[in-house]
Structure 1
């Protein structure tokens, strides 16, 4: 089982985000893997963002089986009648992406919900399996899990074992107070003079340290601050000790949603690719290499994009800024020298 510290480093979020998520995790989280038949998807309709306790907007989406896409599904999966969806959200979960809902049993969040929508297009019953991050990949490797929907970044190294169907941008975001008019325009130079919080040992820290060096070489400053948990970050932002927090875009989306009715609401001031300035990072559905599932899943996602259900899914979780115009099979991924 992954420790909270290792999960924090993988996601790049402050520890308290995971700690707060742990409050809504069911007793099943104590096991190595939890699985349940999914009742969230019904004929012709899928309810997303159910039991999210405000992390998403519950929305019923109309989606029907598409026979031409369903015909592409490998026979073994077709005969099983179900799509086994793997999520690596144990032990604590990570809202708004994947976590145990406020009913203490529903695995909710953007990731399993997209899996449910894809299953509906394929005419399959969704079965969501929640595991540790490592066991998620073990499930895919052994065939116990058909596909991973779990904020998995498309990388060239992973392509040695897996095939991908992209469905979201892998974005980092600057979170500021809503009243702050500053915008990040994609150029590190407009960070000059700023004080920004970041989590240690993360990809976003690496990016900020590179920008800090460039600014200092030009005689300018960028002050980085580190805090032990999310509460400390938001207190520092509210009090003016920092001007922004740089972290995963879904974390920013969650914070913006949670703070919307507070005295100090936040907003996203700009995003930057998690893969760096030369490549748009991508999050992708992940299947065992040569399993034959990559094409039907990509086609199902593209059907959802064309039909508008994809946009409703993104909006429900405040992730519209991570939307893609098209799902691609095995697009360029994070290179081997940047992993």
Structure 2
């Protein structure tokens, strides 16, 4: 998965994380999907940060249907009365973006919470389905999912199959042991000789592999490692098997705060835009191309921005630095060649 950034740097104990991971493991079969539990809310309200295990401040936000926006929905979605929302996360979860809550059944996180706010503006019942990352896109392709809210970076490659409504800046970060003196500094040359972990099939993997190709052409080595889940990644980081982990800035920043007073304390060793060095990356709601969903979803997000609920959502999840001023439909994304 990707997260938040500025053009210069996209730039987006262990006990709490491990607890969340343990609860989440087994709730999503590898390669499959699962229905996520939902909670009952009073009409005209959405409670964000529920059962978040301390990752967010639970906040009740008033939000009601806006008829002029919901009228733009495709007939099939409007008549169904629901918005089927896809979340693609590792079995161990990815707080604060998406993970199984402290009740051991509810999918919580900043991403599903924003999706629920958007569904309220559209007058639809949110139905959240949890997938592995790869199968989230299969779900969108097949029509099993209306829209993905899952830290998905807007890219020109993805625009061949999907349409986007942006809602958050996309920054990546490199996390290293606190005891390490190495820093990224925004220059891929600083990765020469390092071993870095990354999630397969993600935007950050694409960027890292391109840096690897550049270094290889210069006769230098960058080793890329893959792990099944976050627990395995962090065990490798703590044992020195890898030098750093490249992932969405919100996830990594959250992990840094959780490990601050533990023997496996980590730090952010550098940040970078999820759209490359020349463009601010953006995270976007993702629907099948020509589905007709991007515009009403963008309008719903802009309604939330204008009326303050968007800021409340970000604040609750401690993501205010990721804010955008407007939701854009299919904005410029990571180029086909992000060199």
Query: TM-score band (shorter)?
Result: 0.7 to 0.9
Match of residue 234, structure 2, among 230, 233, 255 = 230
Q: Which residue of 1 aligns with 2:94?
A: 94
For residues 255 and 158 of structure 1, the distance between their equivalents in structure 2, rounded to whole angstroms, comes to: 29
**Do the aligned residues in 2 keep the contact of 1:170 with 1:281 (CA within 8 Å)?**
yes
What is the CA distance between 1:178 and its match in structure 2? 9.3
- For residues 51-70 of structure 1, the C-alpha deviation after alignment (integer angstroms, 9 at most, x for no partner) is 22222222222222222212
What is the CA distance between 1:22 and its match in structure 2? 3.6
User: Where in structure 2 are the equivalents of 1:13-92 lying within 5 Å?
Assistant: 21-25=20-24, 27-30=26-29, 32-36=32-36, 38-39=38-39, 41-89=41-89, 91-92=91-92
SS state at 1:170 partner: strand
In the alignment, structure 1 residue 168 sits paired with structure 2 residue 168: yes
Distance 1:194 1:157, change over 3 A: closer
For residues 229 and 26 of structure 1, the distance between their equivalents in structure 2, rounded to whole angstroms, comes to: 15
- For residues 267-296 of structure 1, the C-alpha deviation after alignment (integer angstroms, 9 at most, x for no partner) is 657632022111222211011111111111
Q: TM-score, normalised by structure 2?
A: 0.75
**Do the aligned residues in 2 keep the contact of 1:207 with 1:276 (CA within 8 Å)?**
no
**Do the aligned residues in 2 keep the contact of 1:48 with 1:58 (CA within 8 Å)?**
yes
**Do the aligned residues in 1 keep the contact of 2:153 with 2:281 (CA within 8 Å)?**
yes
SS state at 1:126 partner: strand
What is the CA distance between 1:173 and its match in structure 2? 2.5
What is the CA distance between 1:171 and its match in structure 2? 0.5
Q: Which residue of 2 aligns with 1:5?
A: none
Any unmatched runs of 5+ in structure 1?
A: 1-9, 218-222
Q: Which residue of 1 aligns with 2:10?
A: none
**Do the aligned residues in 1 keep the contact of 2:154 with 2:284 (CA within 8 Å)?**
yes
Q: Which residue of 1 aligns with 2:139?
A: 139
Distance 1:315 1:261, change over 3 A: farther
SS state at 1:51 partner: coil
For residues 16 and 209 of structure 2, the distance between their equivalents in structure 1, rounded to whole angstroms, comes to: 21
**Do the aligned residues in 2 keep the contact of 1:17 with 1:94 (CA within 8 Å)?**
no
RCO higher in structure (CA 8 A, sep ≥6): 2
In the alignment, structure 1 residue 199 sits paired with structure 2 residue 197: yes
Distance 1:264 1:92, change over 3 A: closer
Any unmatched runs of 5+ in structure 2?
A: 4-14
Higher helix share: 1
User: Where in structure 2 are the equivalents of 1:1-339 lying within 5 Å?
Assistant: 21-25=20-24, 27-30=26-29, 32-36=32-36, 38-39=38-39, 41-89=41-89, 91-174=91-174, 188=187, 198-199=196-197, 202-203=205-206, 205-206=208-209, 229-231=233-235, 233=237, 247-259=247-259, 271-338=271-338
For residues 54 and 194 of structure 2, the distance between their equivalents in structure 1, rounded to whole angstroms, comes to: 27
For residues 79 and 41 of structure 1, the distance between their equivalents in structure 2, rounded to whole angstroms, comes to: 22
SS state at 1:145 partner: coil
Deviates most, 316-325 or 276-285: 316-325
Distance 1:11 1:193, change over 3 A: closer
The structure 1 segments of at least 4 consecutive aligned residues displaced by more than 4 Å after TM superposition are 16-21, 174-180, 191-197, 203-213, 223-228, 260-270
For residues 46 and 263 of structure 1, the distance between their equivalents in structure 2, rounded to whole angstroms, comes to: 38
What is the CA distance between 1:207 and its match in structure 2? 7.3
For residues 188 and 30 of structure 1, the distance between their equivalents in structure 2, rounded to whole angstroms, comes to: 38
Q: TM-score, normalised by structure 1?
A: 0.75
**Do the aligned residues in 2 keep the contact of 1:178 with 1:265 (CA within 8 Å)?**
yes
**Do the aligned residues in 1 keep the contact of 2:97 with 2:109 (CA within 8 Å)?**
yes
For residues 149 and 196 of structure 2, the distance between their equivalents in structure 1, rounded to whole angstroms, comes to: 26
